[in-house]
Amino acid sequence: MNALGWINLALYMGLLLAAAWPLSRWLTAVAQGRLPRWMQAVESAFYKLAGVKAEEGMHWKRYALGLLLFNFIGVLAAYGLQRFQDVLPLNPQGFGAVTPDSAFNTAISFVTNTNWQGYGGESTMSYLTQMLALTVQNFVSAATGIAVVFALIRGFAAKSSQSIGNFWADLTRITLWILLPLSLVFALFFVSQGVIQNFDAYKDATTLELNAYQAPKLGADGQPLKDEKGQVLTEDATSATQQLAMGPVASQEAIKLLGTNGGGFFNANSAHPYENPTPLANLAQILAIFLIPAALCFSFGQMVGDSRQGVTILAAMSLMFIVGVIAATSAEQAGNPSLNALGVDQQMSEAQAGGNMEGKETRFGINATSIFMVVTTGASCGAVNAMHDSMTPLGGMVPLVMMQLGEVVFGGVGTGLYGMLIFAMLAVFIAGLMIGRTPEYLGKKVESYEMKMVSIAILVTPMVVLIGTAIAVVAADGKAGVANPGAHGFSEILYALTSAGNNNGSAFAGLSANTPFYNTLLGIVMWLGRFGVIVPVLAIAGSLGAKKRIPVGAGTLPTHGPLFVGLLVGVVLLVGLLNYVPSLALGPIVEHLMLWTA
């Protein structure tokens, strides 16, 4: 990695920590309900309208039931808005109803905080659908993740209680007092940088020369026609104008990043100049993705009464993140050796002088693109400012590995921290076996019940990802969507299932996934990957909350400091990644060997 890359990385980490620390104090206050009276009055109005008793604590089963029902209703609402958007207002382009399989996939995608998009937003979704079906879910899905980690932290912090909080109160407070204010600030900043925010119809701009292109063939219903393999049929077309999409972009852009959602208003996501117009906007975007996850680490230490615990978790995340950035940047700066044989670049004998710029925006370059790539896949965000399918084999493997670790390298809002705490419990359990003592973490014994739930939470995602990948590579409909044969095609499928199972949403764009097969398969994987982890985490929260705290003894493993950071990182790498090593060997690793030995 060159000097500019190190400077960019150091600047980013410095700004992130400087912004996360003060925000953490507010997150702690919101989690504990220590709010000004006027905020409490606003909340009370909502609770009275909904018939909610906010002061009433919930057992973990009741908390989980409320969470699951709320999110299931969200799926129905998002699905319905897509299916009826052709007869609903705020549809200046007259888009037709979204197909049933795509609507199913998108509804689950946004409710689970995945935001996988098999469609082009500016050519598929009306303004109303973008706002009510997608942006609303960006807020409440993010609030759901934060609510779960608040419940888990209460389980650690409680002396002995059957309650882990009130889901409706958590959801309301997180949305009103954390996500909405931050989104407003970031949305206004993005507008100042050139991100659009309007309800105008699309604009036609006259081009300097006649454009020849391939346009999709449309059926009688106005939707693109597809062949038997699910590929969109095209025909020759020319135009003297270029259509510029409009819409309420900045408002969705802010929460897609702050909530680690990732769904873009435009098909090109944060590579589009209307979503991410300047290098300064790009810096703000990658800061927004990690801002709340980093602040939650500090809040964790504050809520359990030992700030060192939060710093330790943050240090483990930062270490893995920095290694990921170094690996991705170095791989992309090495370039593509095949170009050397063609005599494309004679300035350097072993690598491209400018590195691998395929699929990247020149206004960002390799360094800023690599940081964005690792940030968005370390978090469960999925926003992209470049095409991951165009990365070098090892460069593309880095975001794949970041997701396969369980997205605990900062991770999504809430999901990253509770995922890392699950690994921390496993780490103290392993350490306890080594010294022959009952493991304990933060004064709570980690016993058989907790370890069963930890095992489920850790294994459910690799299971659905690998089983889903196996189904896709043997099914005719699964192979039909692959544009590139061989190892890279396998990587495209593996990336799609990994992204869905870990609720990320980014993609190797070479896979045509907007088909009934992939929309259904990925929808199921997204749902299981989200709630198959949340329910065991809430069960752990309830079990820990009911236990009495035990004093620190001579045999207690210190869960802060460099030793525990090393143990925690080792457990994440060993347990989180080991499940995927054979699949990585079949995809990006063999592709790298083929590329560099050719």
Digit-coded pLDDT (tens) for 496-537: 999 999 999 999 888 889 999 999 999 999 999 999 999 999
| Position 484 confidence tier, pLDDT thresholds 50, 70, 90 | confident
Mean pLDDT of the chain: 92
Per DSSP, the three-state class of 406 is coil
What tokens were used for 598?
Answer: 């050719």
Give the pLDDT of residue 577.
86
Residue 131: alpha-carbon gap to chain centroid: 19
Closest C-alpha among 180, 584, 199 to residue 400 = 584
**Most distant CA pair in the chain, distance:** 79
Answer yes or no: is pLDDT of 345 > 70. Answer: no
Residue 343 confidence (pLDDT) = 66
pLDDT in tens, 102-131: 999 999 999 999 999 999 999 999 999 999
Q: What is the pLDDT of residues 244-263, one digit of tens each?
A: 999 999 999 999 999 999 99
> Confidence band (pLDDT; 50, 70, 90) for 64?
very high
Other CB atoms within 10 A of residue 486 CB: 12
- Residue 216's φ and ψ, nearest 5 degrees, are -70, 140
Cβ atoms of residues 424 and 313 within 8 Å: yes
Structure tokens at 452: 């069963």
Does position 569 have pLDDT exceeding 70, yes or no? yes
Task: Return the beta strands (E) in 217-336 as ranges.
Answer: 234-244
Residue 434: pLDDT band (50, 70, 90) is confident
Q: Give the range among 7-16, 208-217, 465-474 with minimum mean pLDDT.
A: 208-217
Say what percent of the chain tops pLDDT 90.
79
Q: What DSSP character marks residue 224?
A: B
Residues whose CB is less than 8 angstroms from the CB of residue 193 and which lie 6 or more positions away in sequence, other chains included: 277, 278, 280, 281, 284
As a whole number of angstroms, the distance between CA 300 and CA 308 comes to 10
181 pLDDT more than 50 = yes
Distance CA 333, CA 355 (A): 4
Res 352 pLDDT > 60 = no
Higher pLDDT, 554 or 322: 322
Q: Work out the pLDDT band at 81, boundaries 50, 70, 90.
A: very high
Q: Do the Cβ atoms of 375 and 289 come closer than 8 Å?
A: yes
Q: Give me the pLDDT at residue 108, please.
A: 98
Per 3-state DSSP, what percentage of the chain is helix, strand, and coil (rounded to 5)? 65, 5, 30
pLDDT tens digits, 406-425 = 989 999 999 999 999 999 99
pLDDT per residue over 194-232, tens digit each?
999 999 999 999 988 888 888 888 887 778 888 877 778
Query: Would the pLDDT of 354 be above 80?
Result: no
The reply to whether the predicted model has a pTM over 0.85 is yes
Decide if pLDDT at 350 tops 50: no
**Phi-psi group of 452: left, alpha or beta (phi > 0 → left; psi -120 to 50 → alpha; rest → beta):** alpha
Q: How many residues in the chain?
A: 598
> Would you call 496 helix, strand, or coil by DSSP?
helix
Asked if residue 1 has pLDDT above 70, the reply is: yes
Q: What is the DSSP letter of 207?
A: E
- The stretch 375-403 carries a mean pLDDT of 94
Closest CA to 392 of 364, 348, 358: 358
Alpha-carbon distance 499 to 105, whole Å? 14
- Do 258 and 284 contact (CB within 8 A), yes or no? no
